[in-house]
């Protein structure tokens, strides 16, 4: 006759392992997103700065006057780049703050999990090897 209590504890242990694996995957994805948000914090201001430099350059209005179609295309492109870069910068800051909060919560989760594991192990003497 199968041991129901042993089977039940194994399924609970499996669920905990699956949840831990899932949380670890989310943490890995979070690190990737952190890299993306940091790149947004670097590249967006760079794009805004270069666009503003081109717009404020003395020859910019000369290009607008002399090269009608190209000047209009250049002006529209620079404005679109600035708008997208500002949006990307705001989203990058928001994402960075959100991931920073997630990392703190994940660290607390790992600490509590380790504390509970140690407490359960010491309470039931699971640290010692049990002989046959």
Kindly give, in sequence order, each residue whose CB lies less than 8 Å from that of residue 78, ignoring residues fewer than 6 positions away: 51, 54, 55
Query: What is the residue-level pLDDT of the chain in tens, covering all 132 positions?
Result: 455 555 555 666 677 788 788 888 888 888 888 888 888 889 999 999 999 999 999 888 888 888 888 888 988 999 999 999 999 999 888 888 888 888 888 888 888 988 888 888 888 776 555 444
Per domain, the residue ranges of the chain are 30-119
104-116 pLDDT per residue, tens: 888 888 889 888 8
What global pTM score does this model have? 0.63
CA of residue 105 relative to chain centroid, distance: 13
The per-residue pLDDT for 100 is 84
Please give the mean pLDDT across all residues of the chain: 82
| Of 40, 54, 53, nearest in space to 85 by CA | 40
């Amino acid at each position: 006759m199968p041991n129901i209590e042993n089977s039940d504890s194994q399924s609970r242990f499996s669920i905990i392992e699956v949840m831990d694996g899932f949380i670890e995957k989310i943490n890995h994805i979070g690190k990737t997103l952190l890299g993306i948000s940091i790149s947004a914090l670097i590249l967006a201001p760079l794009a805004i700065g270069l666009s503003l430099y081109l717009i404020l350059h003395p020859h910019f209005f000369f290009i607008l006057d002399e090269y009608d179609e190209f000047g209009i295309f250049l002006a529209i492109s620079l404005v679109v780049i600035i708008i997208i870069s500002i949006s990307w910068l705001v989203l990058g800051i928001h994402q960075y703050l959100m991931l920073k909060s997630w990392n703190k919560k994940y660290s607390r989760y790992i600490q509590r999990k380790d504390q509970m594991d140690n407490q359960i192990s010491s309470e039931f003497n699971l640290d010692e090897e049990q002989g046959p």
